[in-house]
Amino acid sequence: MESKKGQVTIFIIVALLIIVGLVLYFFVADSSNSVNIPAGFQPAYSSFLTCIEDDALTGIEILGSQAGYIYMPEFDSGSDYRPFSSELVFAESPIPYWYYVSGNNIPKEQVPTKREMEQQLEAFVSDKILDCDMGIYYDQGFEISWVNPSARVEIDDNKIVVNLEMDLSFVKDDESILVRNHKIAVDSRLGALYNSALKVYDKSREEKFLEKYAVDTLRLYAPVDGVEITCAPLIWGAEEVFGDLKEGIEANTLALNSKVSVDDYFVIDFPVDEEVRFVNSKEWPYSFEVNPSEGSLIMANPVGNQQGLGILGFCYAPYHFVYDVNYPVLVQIYSDSDADAEFFQFPLAVILENNNPSVSLNVSAVADADPELCAYKNSVADIRVVDGDGRPIQADISYECSDNSCYIGKTAGGYLRGNLPECVNGFVTTRAEGFRDASYLFSSVSEERILVTMDKLYGKEIRLKLDGINYNGEAIIYFTSGDYTQTLLYPDQRVVQLAEGQYEIQAHIYKNSSITLGKSVEEQCVEVPRAGFLGFAGLKKERCFEIEIPEQVISQALVGGGTQNQYMLRSELKSSSVLEIDADEFFTPESIEELNVNYLLFESRGLEINFI
């Protein structure tokens, strides 16, 4: 038994010696790469390690400034409705969106993983190290060669380690050295910043706090819903409204922060230690749509001055406008408040639909988009677009099927051979500057040639007359042809764009008035469910309320105008510069009854239309 115990003890000692030997071997091998460099080669090797460090720092800075990318993902263009491409250009540099909606209305997400960031930095360092400038050592008689670099990167919260495998040889005089493994570590908070960016991004997608701020801004800077006591239409210029909205979005976005602020409304609580900032510029891609609208005007027509409504005794203009708003926000996460602080930034799209944050959708990675109509363009069509004289037009082509619109491309010399998704009874739509939009009914189930003729728009100066005398007061003039409508707020707007076709022309002419409507009280009754079991059974009772209508002064009253249907020939539009409209003048009303009479006169009067 004692002999067996002695044998076991010997085996344990031998095993320990083997383990210690292996540890010493790897320690010495690792030390030979970084420490045991002959004194004559140490400056040159230190310069080489500095190259690795500089390249790593450059790559780290690019990763932080380009949303975790050094090499950009495949570019995806936007559209008029969705202005986001897959990149936001900021300070003349593209930054990939982490979330956006593509031009064909597919929500996409391109958030890199930490391993993907490491791989990009590995490729960057492996490529850039070949450009390391060792010229000063060549001049000192060194022979230096290196081949096949392969980097391995580890990104931690507070440092980044780069292991570069590459045969690097130095030769000088009769001495030489070969180093295969090169390791450096740089202090960087890239990993921590990236983790915080993910938390901010997840909070933005789950809580939609940016969209909620956008709703508040919309209701503060644009007409959304309300009512005003007036007998004249309420009119806003769409461009002015959208301009004000851009200003508001930019200012309110820049005010958002994660730190203590004078106004707590703009402070957002994030589960991160770093400072979070938000950037928007009114010069970035935006898109706005509002319904209902009249061309470039947002209008609310009054109730109470139409035929048969004189018994109301007052006029009011209710309005409810529905907006779709799209714009980008750049999120920046800073390690501290110093000017030289590290940062990580990424852009994302803010989308409002029907005055509310867009419904959360299951976003798709760019490489794995969910099946959509526009993703499968299996049909081919030859599309030619010409004007009324047969001349080719440079036009943007889209294909509409059901509720989907797919951008196909732009014609060159009036021709495009495009790929369309398969659809029965879809529409090829064309849009070109200076021409009226056109649609062509087309079933894209087989290859076919399409010829689309677009009507040229002619700018006509409007000259308004009242009983044959030039009139420069306020008026609203409508030109309606099918689904094409032009509205002028005269005299500020005097030019209308018209193409050949049948038009209904309406001119509403207004002058100052001072009709005073006294304060009144009206009773309004509604049916409400009865209490208890009777209400459960569906029985209802009538409940009445008194509505107090305050005193109002009608400062603008209808004093002239009428309606005229007229076909406008292309030859008339082409050969004239002025469109003259002559309307009948009514009397200036001094009471609500006389105002209602003017509206009855308006319904029965025509207009005289002349081309000059």
Domains of the chain: which residue ranges? 191-296+324-352, 373-453, 458-611
On whether the CB atoms of residues 222 and 194 are closer than 8 A, the answer is no
Q: Going edge to edge, which strands form the sheet with 484-490?
A: 484-490, 475-481, 501-517, 552-568
Q: Which residue has tokens 């994660």?
A: 258
Q: Provide the pLDDT confidence category of residue 606 given band limits of 50, 70 and 90.
A: very high
Q: Provide the pLDDT confidence category of residue 254 given band limits of 50, 70 and 90.
A: very high
Distance CA 333, CA 257 (A): 10
Question: Tens of pLDDT along 47-66?
Answer: 999 999 999 999 999 999 99
Mean pLDDT of 344-363: 82
pLDDT of residue 421: 86
pLDDT of residue 535: 46
Higher pLDDT, 306 or 91: 91
Q: Provide the pLDDT confidence category of residue 73 given band limits of 50, 70 and 90.
A: very high
Higher pLDDT, 405 or 10: 405
pLDDT of residue 363: 46
What is the CATH code of the structural domain delimited by 373-453? 2.60.40.1120
Question: Tens of pLDDT along 15-30?
Answer: 665 665 554 444 434 4
**Mean pLDDT taken over the chain:** 83
Distance CA 389, CA 397 (A): 20
pLDDT of residue 518: 65
Global confidence as pTM: 0.60
Name the token pair of 117: 């960031």
Mean pLDDT of 560-566: 94
Between the alpha carbon of residue 207 and those of residues 109, 203, 204, 571, the distances in Å are: 17, 6, 6, 58
pLDDT of residue 308: 37
Q: Provide the pLDDT confidence category of residue 374 given band limits of 50, 70 and 90.
A: confident
What is the rounded (10 degree) CA torsion for 348, 199, 248, 216? Answer: 110
Please give the share of the chain, as a percent, with pLDDT higher than 90: 52
Mean pLDDT of 322-351: 88
Q: Provide the pLDDT confidence category of residue 34 given band limits of 50, 70 and 90.
A: very low
Distance CA 490, CA 507 (A): 10
Distance CA 534, CA 529 (A): 8
Name the token pair of 574: 């082409």
Q: Provide the pLDDT confidence category of residue 407 given band limits of 50, 70 and 90.
A: confident
| Non-local CB neighbours of 243 within 8 Å, separated by 6+ positions | none
Instruction: Tell me whether the omega of the peptide bond preceding residue 292 falls within 30 degrees of 0, making it cis.
Output: yes
pLDDT of residue 337: 56
Question: Tens of pLDDT along 199-212?
Answer: 999 999 999 999 99
pLDDT at 164 over 90: yes
Give the range among 311-315, 397-401, 434-438 with minimum mean pLDDT. Answer: 311-315
pLDDT at 524 over 60: no
pLDDT of residue 221: 94
| Non-local CB neighbours of 371 within 8 Å, separated by 6+ positions | none
Give the range among 14-28, 144-158, 282-296, 369-383 with minimum mean pLDDT. Answer: 14-28
Mean pLDDT of 77-101: 85
Q: Provide the pLDDT confidence category of residue 547 given band limits of 50, 70 and 90.
A: low
pLDDT of residue 264: 82
Name the token pair of 466: 């009242």
Across 480-484, 489-493, 533-537, the highest mean pLDDT is recorded for 489-493
Distance CA 148, CA 491 (A): 74
Give the range among 159-163, 404-408, 507-511, 514-518 with minimum mean pLDDT. Answer: 514-518
Mean pLDDT of 381-398: 93
Length in residues, the chain: 612
Higher pLDDT, 421 or 525: 421
Mean pLDDT of 417-433: 88
Of 438, 383, 450, 447, the closest CA to residue 414 belongs to: 383
pLDDT of residue 35: 46
Of 279, 286, 272, 282, the closest CA to residue 256 belongs to: 279
Which amino acid, 563?
T
